[in-house]
Amino acid sequence: MVDISVAPIQSPQDLVVYVHDPLRGAPFYHLPAEKRAEFVETLRFTDAGLASLNFRILSENLSDSQAYELLTLFGWQSMVFSLP
The predicted pLDDT at position 34 comes to 97
Are the beta carbons of 75 and 49 closer than 8 angstroms?
yes
Task: Write down the pLDDT at residue 52.
Answer: 95
What was the pLDDT predicted at 84?
A: 66
Domain membership of residue 36 as a residue range? 4-78
Domain membership flag for residue 41: yes
46 belongs to a structural domain:
yes
pLDDT means per 10 residues, the chain with 84 residues, are 82 95 94 96 94 94 94 90 71
Q: How many domains does the chain have?
A: 1
Is the CB of residue 70 less than 8 Å from the CB of residue 30? Answer: yes
